[in-house]
Amino acid sequence: MLFENLFVKSDPKASKYFNRVKAIVSNLKNKNNLEFKEKIINGEIALINLIDMDVKDMASTEMQSKRKQAEDEGFKSRRSDWNSVHSSQQVGIYNCEECKSQKTSSFQMQIRGADEPMTT
Instruction: Supply the pLDDT for residue 67.
Output: 92
Q: Determine, yes or no, domain membership for 94.
A: no
Q: Which residues form the domain of 23?
A: 2-77
Q: Determine, yes or no, domain membership for 104.
A: no
pLDDT at 83 over 80: no
| Number of compact structural domains in the chain | 1
Instruction: Supply the pLDDT for residue 17.
Output: 74
**Which residue did the predictor score with more confidence, 18 or 45?**
45
Average pLDDT over the chain, rounded to an integer? 77
- With 0-12 / 13-18 / 19 or more C-beta atoms within 10 angstroms meaning exposed / middle / buried, residue 88 is exposed
Residue 13 DSSP class: T
Q: Determine, yes or no, domain membership for 106.
A: no
Please count the residues of the chain.
120
pLDDT at 75 over 70: yes
Q: Determine, yes or no, domain membership for 61.
A: yes
Q: Which of these, 48, 42, 67, 71, lies nearest to 57 by C-alpha position?
A: 67
Q: Determine, yes or no, domain membership for 20.
A: yes
Residue 22, φ and ψ in degrees, nearest 5 = -60, -40
**pLDDT bucket at 66, cuts 50 / 70 / 90:** very high
pLDDT at 71 over 70: yes
pLDDT at 115 over 60: yes
Q: Determine, yes or no, domain membership for 52.
A: yes
Contacts of 23 by beta carbon, 8 Å cutoff, 6+ apart:
55, 58
Instruction: Supply the pLDDT for residue 68.
Output: 93
- For 72-87, letters b (16+ CB in 10 Å) and e give eeeeeeeeeeeeeeee
pLDDT at 98 over 70: yes
- For 25-58, letters b (16+ CB in 10 Å) and e give eebeebeebeebeeebeeeebeeeebbebeeeeb
Q: Determine, yes or no, domain membership for 59.
A: yes
Q: Determine, yes or no, domain membership for 46.
A: yes
pTM: 0.49
